[in-house]
Structure 1
Amino acid sequence: MPELLRIEGLSAGYREARVLFNIELALEEGKSLALLGRNGAGKTTLLDTIVGTTTYHSGAIFLAGRDISRLRPEQRAALGIGWVPQERNIFRSLTVEENLTATARPGPFTLARAFGMFPRLQERRRNLGNQLSGGEQQMLAVARALMLNPKLLLLDEPLEGLAPIIVDELLAAMRRIVTDEGISAIIVEQKARKILPLTDEVVFLERGAIVYHDTSAALLASPETLDAHLSI
């Protein structure tokens, strides 16, 4: 498969403070990556840097062969980066349907397909964003990112604080996204054992640097390695 994302020698952070150090990473089209590590390891900062909302210090980020290191966030979105931040950032004063169509881009992922993936949203299509439960807001945030028809989907803690039944529904949707839809994805998640079966590769960050990179299957087959990294 052709390479979709390449990160070379990337250092970034917030103003003068550096959080990421010499990150080297590549992801092929149609592949998914679990990005793991304890709180403060730099996971969210790496996603934010791919999106373009942090301070770039050095290195390069390539999307489908194009250097996007110095592009603005809206330019990166136009080139195919979809993002679901921890805060979800849905439009609370718009209806579910308006949230999905307001920033939609042409492509195979349509309103009908969004509702097919998240039937709860179809039931609440006339509800305002602030009338949804936390789990429904998360579904809306994911569906809205898909309506951009992205080449690369970034998900930051998509399962955080959700009821078990909603977690199961989101996991099923994410499995469809990365397998049936073939959308490349990077998923930051604390629930490592729930995300690893959905992904092709896994990276552990520690203090802003990559300390482990392998296939998700290899890590799942080595519980002692997984436990060792989760306990860092």
Structure 2
Amino acid sequence: MPDLLVIDGLRAGYGEAVVLPSMSLTLREGEVLALLGRNGTGKTTLINSIVGLTRRFGGTLALGGVDITAMRPDQRARAGIGWVPQERNIFRSLTVEENMTAVARPGPLTVEKIYRMFPRLRERRHHFGNQLSGGEQQMLAIGRALTLNPRVLLLDEPTEGLAPIIVEELLRALGAITRTGGICAIIVEQNAQKILGLADRVVILERGAIVHDAASLTLKVDPAVLERYLGVSGAAAHQG
């Protein structure tokens, strides 16, 4: 499969601070990448840099062969970058259905298809965003990002603080979308073991640099890597 997202020598951060000294990373169509690392290693900065929210000091980003380096965040969204931040950023004064139809773009991922993925959202489609539980808000945030019909989906701590049964539902839906829709995804996750079953590949960051990049299967059979870089025995990888 061809590379869908190509990051080449990206140097980025905030203000005068460089968090990512030289990041190079590629993702293929349909590939799910788990982004792990201790606190403050640059995971969220990498996500924000793909969205276009950081200061770029150098390097390039391309999506589907198109250079998006100079694009604003709204232009990147239209080009195919879907983003679900930790804060979720749903429209709390709009209903579930209004949240999704307000941003929906033409494509195979329709609001109706999102309802089939997340039946809870259909049941609550007339509820306002501020009337939803944390898990329902996260489903809505993901559903809303998907109605943009993105080519790349970025999720920053999508399961944080959610009940295990909701986490299972979210991961099942994400797996179905990436497997059938050709979307590639980068998922920042606290709990390494939780995400290994969904991810094809795992990248671990330290000080804004990649220190491990391998198939997720290798971490399942050899958790020593998690212990070395994350200080956990396959249980919880810390957010950063």
Aligned to 1:69: 69
Aligned to 2:35: 35
8 Å CA contact 1:104, 1:147 repeated in 2: yes
8 Å CA contact 2:151, 2:182 repeated in 1: no
SS of the aligned residue for 1:40 comes to coil
More displaced, 8-17 or 176-185? 176-185
SS of the aligned residue for 2:130 comes to helix
Aligned to 1:198: 198
SS of the aligned residue for 2:149 comes to coil
More displaced, 14-23 or 215-224? 215-224
How far apart in 2 are the matches of 1:6 and 1:196?
23
Give the Å deviation of 1:100.
0.7
Aligned to 1:83: 83
Aligned to 1:214: 214
More displaced, 95-104 or 21-30? 21-30
How far apart in 2 are the matches of 1:111 and 1:70?
31
Listed one character per residue, the Cα deviations across residues 116-137 of structure 1 (whole Å, up to 9, x for unaligned) are 0000000000000000011100
In angstroms, what is the RMSD of aligned CA positions?
Answer: 1.0
Number of residues of Structure 1 aligned to a counterpart in Structure 2:
232
Aligned to 1:22: 22
Aligned to 1:189: 189
How far apart in 1 are the matches of 2:94 and 2:117?
20
Aligned to 2:56: 56
Give the Å deviation of 1:198.
0.7
8 Å CA contact 1:220, 1:226 repeated in 2: no
Q: What percentage of aligned pairs have identical amino acids?
A: 63
TM-score of the superposed pair, with normalisation by structure 1: 0.97
Aligned to 2:173: 173
> Do residues 12 (structure 1) and 12 (structure 2) align?
yes
Give the Å deviation of 1:186.
0.4
How far apart in 1 are the matches of 2:111 and 2:88?
19
Aligned to 2:127: 127
Aligned to 2:223: 223
How far apart in 2 are the matches of 1:19 and 1:51?
16
How far apart in 2 are the matches of 1:120 and 1:180?
21
SS of the aligned residue for 1:58 comes to strand
Listed one character per residue, the Cα deviations across residues 132-161 of structure 1 (whole Å, up to 9, x for unaligned) are 011100000000000000000000000001
More displaced, 180-189 or 89-98? 180-189
Aligned to 1:2: 2
How far apart in 2 are the matches of 1:129 and 1:183?
26
More displaced, 221-230 or 60-69? 221-230
**Which amino acid is the alignment partner of residue 162 of structure 2?**
L
How far apart in 2 are the matches of 1:7 and 1:182?
19
| Structure 2, gaps ≥5 residues long | 233-240
Aligned to 1:93: 93
Give the Å deviation of 1:171.
1.4
